[in-house]
Chain A
Amino acid sequence: MAYDLNFGPVLAHAPDFAAGVRDTVVLSAQSIVLGLAVGLVVSIIRTSGPRWSRTLCAIYVEAIRNTPLLVQLFLFFFGLPYIGFRLQANTVAVIAVALNLGAYAGEIFRAGLLAIPKTQVEAGLALGLSRLQVLRYVVIVPALRIIYPALTGQLTLTLLGTSLVSSISANDLTLAGSKVVSQTFLSLETFIVLAPIYIVVTFVFRFLYWLAGLWLFRRRVPTGDAAASLSLPREVSEP
């Protein structure tokens, strides 16, 4: 190989990478919280809402799940100013990523809710639990445990998907890397540095999901890698 890798000038930009990590973590956390909220609402409407609202939610879910996140980002970023909404790139990024996650999370939550048989709820009420207790101990926690690998897998995909927001000039780790490339012209070195940073961030997030699972379920529940989001919870059979 005629070319020797030169990491010095790239590593000199360490503070920029650190700022990029911070932006990516903040962006992901905001999108995840917002997206899970959207998903929860969608799943409740799709399981027990009036007919017209179910149809509306189904259209939303299918439209999002069958088009690429990148196109959704472009549509929001270039389209919103066109109809009079001028928002910052980072705001658009959070909205687009959250709406994307909302559709997937909605489907996952719905599968969890459908996995709890009605007889369980009746049994809980027969034991004298209040409606709120039934909702918490019989519906939400067990449903969440069933879907936990798929849900955390989807959150991992969302975290990785935030790298696309650099294309609409929203601040994140990938954009920080692109700026370093334009200053140093060391493209290969920069991306060789970026990849392990993303890997570490991903595994830190997955560790946090694992801890959250420990706290939620009082026992170890596996978290999913990105591929786990594809094996829908419908296939999980509880003993």
Chain B
Amino acid sequence: MIQSFGLWSIPLLLHGLMWTVLLSLTTFVAGGLFGLLFALGRSIGPRWLKLLIAGYIQLVQATPLLILLFLSFYALPFMGWYFPPLAAAAISLTAYSTAFLADIWRGCIEAIPRTQWEAADALALSTTQKLRYVILPQAFRIARGPTVGFMVQIVKNTSVTALIGFVELTRAGQLLNSMTFQPFDVFLTVAALYFVVCYPLSLWSEKLKERRSAGSAH
């Protein structure tokens, strides 16, 4: 039965939006955790680890997210368990975000002047102490802007999971479109909902970047 797009459709889209937000948060937390480990390994680890992580980052950044998604979606069942699309979505998005966040954060760690490491050395701090008290707090300040900027990318990237049938905002829009045949109304509303989530994050990211360039005299 063909229904027309109206107020009744909004809860359906909001339900999709809820999954978009949940998936984004999961991806950000998991990707952030692995990203931090990878960034540290890449900047202060032994040579073989650096090469391994650099290889991972380069390969993942040269593969479309959609292909990563299909790979995990089709590969996971071969492990012998049933995985819902949510698992494939979360795993591939995490693998993807890890590569990007590790790259961004490595840049931030390496942006800390050599002299800061040397000063920490001169104070006889251990490696953990150096990171904890000298390097990471400064790197964190630089990293905030680009990190929030990447959160926008994560939210937008979750839309790709619609293509393996995970019902987030975009998939909800597709379903609604096939019920109402009003693509303009449906997808403009979907786009507006994404905008409502992403735009504040973009503004925040810009603000953090400006503050950083205004405050960094060195």
Contact = CB atoms under 8 A, between A and B. Distances in A.
Interface string A49-78: 000000000000011011111111011001
B: interface residue count bin: 35 or more
Given A68-B157, A71-B194, A167-B163, A225 B61 contact: yes
A163 to B, nearest CB: 4
A161 B64 contact: yes
Interface in A153-199: 156, 160-161, 163-164, 166-167, 174, 187-188, 191-192, 194-195, 198-199
A203 interface: yes
Contact of B170 (A3, A65, A71, A174): A71
Nearest to B75: A188
A1 B78 contact: yes
Give the dominant DSSP class at B's interface: helix
Interface string B128-153: 00000000000000000010011011
Contacts of A2: 80
B62 A75 contact: no
Interface in B158-200: 159-160, 162-163, 170, 173-174, 177, 182-184, 187-188, 190-191, 194-195, 198-199
Given A195-B63, A231-B104, A67 B71 contact: no
Interface string B64-108: 111110110011001110000000000000000001100110010
Interface residues of A, number: 45
The CB with the most chain B CB atoms within 10 A, among A72, A202, A230, is that of: A230
B209 interface: yes
B190 A71 contact: yes
B50 interface: no
B183 A67 contact: no
Contacts of A62: 199, 202
B58 A70 contact: no
Contacts of A231: 104, 107, 146
Given A163-B65, A234-B213, 6 more contacts: A2-B80, A71-B173, A75-B184, A188-B74, A191-B74, A199-B59
20 contacts: A1-B78, A66-B156, A66-B194, A67-B194, A68-B156, A68-B170, A71-B159, A71-B191, A82-B183, A174-B67, A187-B74, A188-B78, A191-B67, A192-B71, A198-B62, A202-B62, A226-B62, A227-B100, A231-B107, A235-B209
